[in-house]
Structure 1
Amino acid sequence: MGTTTVCPLWAVLLLPLVVSGVPTEEPTSGEAVDPSFSGSCRRCCDSEDTLAPADASVAAPPSPLPYALPEVRPYINITILKGDKGDRGLLGTPGKLGQEGPRGDRGPQGIKGAKGQAGSPGSPCRTHSSAFSVGRKTALHSSEDFQPLLFDTVFVNPDGHFDMAAGHFVAPLRGLYFFSLNVHSWNFKETYVHVVHNGAAAVILYAQPSDRSIMQSQSVMLALAPEDRVWVRLFKRERENAVYSDDVDTYITFSGHLIKPEDD
């Protein structure tokens, strides 16, 4: 009995809902009817494919216009859309150097400038050279144990570093000097000569007595300090000591020059 009572009650409640879903108005005589409307409910978000007519045999109505309308694009004036000039950007990375171009033509010669003013006086010049060469035209016999050999002919003595009166070379500065001595021996007489550095014999030139006179030479390199003296002397022993020369030719020469100056 309970079941038969409930069914008529549900029918009464559902009747208004069914009636509200059915259209109550019919189209008027001048109003077009959408052929795609099938009388069923649809959602507004359904796509066109979903909304296709239920009966595919029903064709869509023809376009009311005989031609397609052209697409109309709005015109925009770009000049009025240009904004203000922006700030200067950061400096970019420098590019690589290009190849060197060809040498240009020589330009015209410029105008000669005015003569400049004289500079200030420099420091006193220091002597960095020294040279001499002297000779003797007369023969000499030793009369004492140590007899200086004096010279009477000057070949080279530009700075006066060789003292002709004393027969001494006086070193102007510290450095290395080269000296050479050439003498001619006398027949049957001994030739014994010293090249002296500050009173001590540096080297010896010697020739034994012979029936023939000959030329003899000696050379030496010395390290001298300023005011050091170098000269030549004869050394007498038991035999007679002599050197030969004459008034015509020069058989005896003594020369020297600075090789390398050294700082004090």
Structure 2
Amino acid sequence: MGPQVTMMSVALGLRWGVLLLPLLVLGVPTQEPRSREAVASGPTRRCRQCCDSEHLEPANTAATSLPYVLPEVRPYINITILKGDKGDRGLLGAPGKLGREGPRGERGLQGSKGAKGQAGSPGAPCRRRFSAFSVGRKTALHSSEGFQPLLFDTVFVNPDGHFDLKASHFAAPLGGLYFFSLNVHSWNFKETYLHVVHNEAAAVILYAQPSDRSIMQSQSVMLALAAGDRVWVRLFKRERENAIYSDDVDTYITFSGHLIKPDDDD
């Protein structure tokens, strides 16, 4: 029994040593713990290991007499485990005020060419700004006393009917500059005397003295006409006989005219 008792005593001693070791290291409190302020104001001790016996500082009798205060331990809570489900979307708030206009940006790159658009609707019809005529006479004519209108019986050009063949005068459809020309064939030994008339006034004269040879005579003029003005031809007999020649085969007498430039206001 001797050895067994000895082994049991050693085992009990070890158990008691393990239980009392924290008290020996940390110290046993002899009075109520002091406040944080009191502990903070007291002398501090540097932590060191128990086995560091070679570098132990001199014992401070005042410090060893103070009771050991356990550090404050704050509990740690894992917030992630307390997170709830996502709530519903809230109502839309009122719109804020309009901000100030920002600076103008730089010009962008030129884009690609777009597709061709559809053709537009046709415009209003343009006003016709053209006028022309050309007429002739296949019959010879002897003038009577005074003035006698020269009547024409053949139409070469009169697309818009601006020349009245019955009255044998041209009526200007609009104001502008017009050009006119008159061609006749004289008669042997007879005077040739004609006027190109603007309304009722002679504008130019075509004249040939009596001769033993008949010849072609011509006259041309440019006139500024107003819309509605008339231009025509007349014979004038003085003391001598006045006549012009033509026949049914050839046309010896012609009268022509056309618009050169219309007025800007027309």
Task: Classify the TM-score, shorter chain.
Answer: 0.5 to 0.7
**CA distance, structure 1, for counterparts of residue 206 and residue 105 of structure 2:** 84
> How do residues 66-215 of structure 1 correspond to structure 2 at under 5 angstroms?
119=121, 122-123=123-124, 125-215=126-216
In the superposition, the TM-score normalised over structure 1's length comes to 0.55
* C-alpha contact 1:151 1:167 (8 A) present in aligned 2: yes
Look up the match of 1:243.
Answer: 244
RMSD value, Cα: 3.2
Letter in 1 for 2:121: G
TM superposition outliers: structure 1 runs of 4+ over 3 Å: 90-94, 116-120, 122-125
**CA distance, structure 2, for counterparts of residue 92 and residue 254 of structure 1:** 72
Provide Cα deviations, 1:38-67, integer angstroms capped at 9, x if missing partner. xxxxxxxxxxxxxxxxxxxxxxxxxxxxxx
Provide Cα deviations, 1:115-144, integer angstroms capped at 9, x if missing partner. x79837x54542200000000000000113
Look up the match of 2:254.
Answer: 253
Sequence identity of aligned pairs in percent? 83
Provide Cα deviations, 1:44-95, integer angstroms capped at 9, x if missing partner. xxxxxxxxxxxxxxxxxxxxxxxxxxxxxxxxxxxxxxxxxxxxxx99999x
**Alignment CA distance shift 1:183-1:93 (3 Å):** closer
* C-alpha contact 1:187 1:209 (8 A) present in aligned 2: yes
Give the CA deviation at 1:263: 2.4
**CA distance, structure 2, for counterparts of residue 92 and residue 222 of structure 1:** 63
Letter in 1 for 2:182: L
**Alignment CA distance shift 1:214-1:118 (3 Å):** same
**CA distance, structure 2, for counterparts of residue 92 and residue 123 of structure 1:** 43
Structure with bigger helix share is 2
Look up the match of 1:3.
Answer: none
**CA distance, structure 1, for counterparts of residue 131 and residue 161 of structure 2:** 9
Give the CA deviation at 1:248: 0.3
**CA distance, structure 2, for counterparts of residue 229 and residue 91 of structure 1:** 67
**CA distance, structure 2, for counterparts of residue 202 and residue 242 of structure 1:** 20
**Alignment CA distance shift 1:154-1:91 (3 Å):** closer
**Alignment CA distance shift 1:196-1:119 (3 Å):** same
* Equivalent residues, number: 161
**Alignment CA distance shift 1:134-1:91 (3 Å):** closer
**CA distance, structure 1, for counterparts of residue 105 and residue 238 of structure 2:** 96
Look up the match of 2:226.
Answer: 225
* C-alpha contact 2:145 2:238 (8 A) present in aligned 1: no
Unaligned runs of 5+ in 2: 1-102, 110-114
Letter in 1 for 2:171: V
Look up the match of 2:57.
Answer: none
**CA distance, structure 2, for counterparts of residue 124 and residue 202 of structure 1:** 36
**Alignment CA distance shift 1:200-1:117 (3 Å):** same
**CA distance, structure 1, for counterparts of residue 202 and residue 168 of structure 2:** 15
**Alignment CA distance shift 1:93-1:241 (3 Å):** closer
Letter in 1 for 2:132: A
Look up the match of 2:50.
Answer: none
**Alignment CA distance shift 1:207-1:123 (3 Å):** same
Provide Cα deviations, 1:209-236, integer angstroms capped at 9, x if missing partner. 0010000000000000000000000011
Unaligned runs of 5+ in 1: 1-89, 98-109
* C-alpha contact 1:127 1:172 (8 A) present in aligned 2: no
Give the CA deviation at 1:261: 0.5
**CA distance, structure 1, for counterparts of residue 261 and residue 106 of structure 2:** 57
